Amino acid sequence: MDKELLYRFIEGNLTEAEERTVTEWLQSDPTHQETLNALWFVHDAAIVNAPSSRHVRPLMPPKPSYRPQLLLRRCIRIAAAVLLMVGACYTTRNIVIEQHARQYLAIAAPAGQRVDITLQDGTTVCLNSGAKLEYPVRFGKTRRVKLSGEAMFDVEHSASRPFVVETFACDVEVLGTKFNVTADERTRDFSTALLRGRLRVNNKLSHDDAIEMKADDFVSLKGDRLTLHRIENANDYLWPEGILNLAGHDFREIVKRLEQLYGVEITVEKSELPRLNLIRGKISIAMGLDYALRALQKIAPFDYEQVEYDRIVIK
């Protein structure tokens, strides 16, 4: 991407067609956002350190003056003019930043894959299969993103700029923490697991329903109300590292998790589901769905058949 075009994008001097070109370029690869952030830093530094563009012709030194009141009035007028210029520049800069904060990009994890992205404030996000994240080109006063699906966040701390994850059901407000969010509007499934730090979950479906979370808390949506529990097994949140935890889950829960991780439909036609009572057990997600099903067969009696490319039947 042409750097001159990116600099004009930062300054807000693009045509609609050029802006679409830059936006498409940013959406095509998460690393492109880091390139833009680096140019933005250079641009801001150049503005701060730039010498004055006004060339003042040197004057002959005036004769000493003994009129202090006149000198004081002149100094006050100059100071007021400088403050007015600084205030105008600051206001204009804020307007540009807020305009870009309203321009959202979107990135989605393809079926059966995970996507890692670093936002421009240093926050890292791991999107699970099928998840979609919308985030601004540049954060404003509040760092707000929108999530559909499952994602793991490791938020860069900033007490003055809260980080908010907006979902269909709740807004998750963060000060600096690591947490997992699942939000599926189609199934009305919402949950948040806090691994480190502090969270506040604000329910948008019910009035005056909010929960303050501390480490190892788990919040889920029951009906239209939030419920608070403790995390039963921290291994459930190893999926960003490519690990599927089996322990503590029944057969149907594991099948549902395989559907989500690999982006397939699994139909269970078995009349009686196998009973599992696993104390421990993990599967490498990278080994693929067939490997996961064969590993599951070693602890549960069932057969399966792939009837279509993205459809499995368990018998």
User: If you write DSSP's letter for every residue of 129-147 in order, what string do you get?
Assistant: TT-EEEEESS--SSEEEEE
Mean pLDDT score, 79-90: 46
Q: Extract the tokens encoding 21.
A: 């070109």
When pLDDT is averaged across residues 261-270 and rounded to a whole number, the result is 90
CB neighbours of 87 closer than 8 A, spacing ≥ 6? none
Check whether 231 has a pLDDT greater than 80. yes
pLDDT of residue 164: 95
Instruction: Read off the pLDDT band of 75 (50, 70, 90).
Output: low
Average pLDDT on 262-282 reads 86
More confident residue, 85 or 103: 103
Give the per-residue pLDDT at 87.
Answer: 47
Residues forming beta bridges with residue 136, ordered by sequence position: 104
Domains annotated for the chain, with CATH where assigned, are: 1-39 (no CATH), 105-231 (2.60.120.1440), 235-314 (3.55.50.30)
Cα separation, 274 vs 301, whole angstroms: 7
C-alpha dihedral over 62, 66, 71, 73, to 10 degrees? Answer: -150
Per residue in 1-59, pLDDT (tens digit) is 777 787 777 666 677 777 778 777 777 776 777 677 666 655 544 443 344 333 333 33
Which amino acid is residue 142, in one-letter code?
A: T
pLDDT at 21: 83
- Residue keyed to tokens 């907006």: 166
Mean predicted lDDT score pLDDT of the chain: 80
Closest CA to 162 of 186, 187, 145, 148: 145
CB-CB contact of 23 with 102 (8 Å): no
pTM for the structure as a whole: 0.68
CA distances for 130 relative to 17, 90, 231, 263, angstroms: 30, 41, 24, 7
Contacts of 273-281 with CB under 8 Å at 24 or more apart are 274/300, 274/301, 274/302, 275/250, 275/251, 275/300, 276/246, 276/249, 276/250, 276/251, 276/300, 278/246, 278/247, 278/248, 278/249, 279/247, 280/247, 281/245, 281/246, 281/247
What is the Cα–Cα distance from 201 to 169, expressed in whole angstroms?
10
Residue holding tokens 């501390």?
214
pLDDT band at 69 (very low <50, low <70, confident <90, very high): low
Which of 45-59, 80-94, 213-227, 275-289 tops mean pLDDT?
Answer: 213-227
What is the reported pLDDT for 104?
A: 83
13 vs 266, residue with greater confidence: 266
Report CA 223 to chain centroid distance, whole Å: 26
User: How much is the pLDDT for 64?
Assistant: 43
Joined together, the tokens standing for residue 78 give 């100059």
The C-alpha atoms of residue 146 and residue 136 are separated, in whole angstroms, by 10
- How far is the C-alpha of 232 from the C-alpha of 230, rounded, in Å? 6
Q: Indicate the pLDDT class of residue 107, thresholds 50, 70 and 90.
A: very high
